[in-house]
Structures are given as structure tokens and as C-alpha cells.
Amino acid sequence: MQVIDSLRKLVVYREHVVAEAGAAPARPALRASAAAVIGNPWTGTGPGEDLAPVAARWAPLLAKVLTEQLAHALGGVDRIEAFGKAALVGTGGELEHGGALIHTPYFGNLVREFLDGESIICFSDTRAGAGQHLVVPLWHKTHAATRSHYQTVDVRVADAPRADELVIVAAASTGPRPHPRIGDRATDPHVTAQTLERVPS
């Protein structure tokens, strides 16, 4: 496994919802996140620093190692149906530092390719101290408007990010939320402000 020299740890979390609202889901799903804790290569640099050269080297390595961890945790790429990405930036860095590693084709395009996806990858990011949790949104990897797969994964690394670190995350699910039943674009009525004004109160 080729990794970045400043990689301090990999943290993989997996959950299996066995029951919700007193009943087993019709399609039990596994959700997982894989997080890489790395040194921030831009700590101490100013807003004029060109982030592209390092991002082009590091982001593909992160995409590869994190998707490999997800596939292993969830039983293979073919089982993954939804995905998301995230970055936690230590207090000594800029949000742009996290963005440089998750919002470029060197990461996003490769995560999508490695997980056999087609959709744009939804995301979250923030700057925080060690132990801060982040909610990572997921949606369907090939049909982003599939509401049954709108879900989240909570990510937290107890001792990261330190001030000079980044936590880069990829997350995924093998199926929908438990008991999805809010419809979808294919079954929705036609709703506009005008039609709602006609609805009796």
C-alpha cells in the first residue's frame, strides 16, 4: 500500500443497522467511513501559496487507500451503493487546504472511478480541534436523486486533527436508509408555490 509520508493513522468505522423503529429493515445496509490522518503540508503558508502541486501528488494516493479501506469494510465495490467525502482541517490550517485534497479531480474523480460511481460526490468540511465529529452526507453513487439513499455517517477521530493535520474521509453505504418511504422524483406529485396555494388549510 503506497501512502503519504506524513500519514499518521487510518481509522475505519463500520455500522450495521439491525433494527429501526422496532423492525428489521427490508434491506439491511452497512455504512462505513475511512479516514486518513495526515500532516498538513501547507501549515504556515499564506493565501498566495499554490496548492495544486501537492494536491496532484497526494490526492490520488488518498483516493486509492481510502476506497480500498471502504471496499474491504463493506464487502467489495460491487456492494457499495452510496458515497460521500469530507475533510477536517486542524486549527493551524485553512479550509482551502482540505478542499485542495477532496474537491479536485485528483481525488473526486478517482474515488468515483474506484467505487464504480457516476454521480457528483456530496461532501462536508470544517476546521476543528482534535476529536471534533463531522457528519458526512451520502447519496446514490449512480443516481444522485434517489432519496432512499440520502443518509449520513458520523466521523470522529479522538486525537485528530492536531493543529497541523488534516483528516481526509471517504464514506459509503451498501444500501438505503432503514424503511425508506418518502417517495422519489419518479413518484412525486407536481409541486409549485402556486399549487400549494390551492391546498386547503
C-alpha cell read off for 96: 482551502
Q: What is the pLDDT of residues 112-140, one digit of tens each?
A: 999 999 999 999 999 999 999 999 999 99
Question: CB of 150 within 8 A of CB of 138?
Answer: yes
Query: What average pLDDT does range 11-31 have in this prediction?
Result: 95
C-alpha cell read off for 43: 501549515
Higher pLDDT, 86 or 145: 86
Q: What predicted TM-score, i.e. pTM, was given to this entire model? A: 0.94
Q: Could you give the CA distance from residue 118 to residue 157 in angstroms, rounded to a whole number?
A: 29
C-alpha cell read off for 153: 455517517
Q: What is the pLDDT of residues 147-193, one digit of tens each?
A: 999 999 999 999 999 999 999 999 999 999 999 999 888 788 888 88
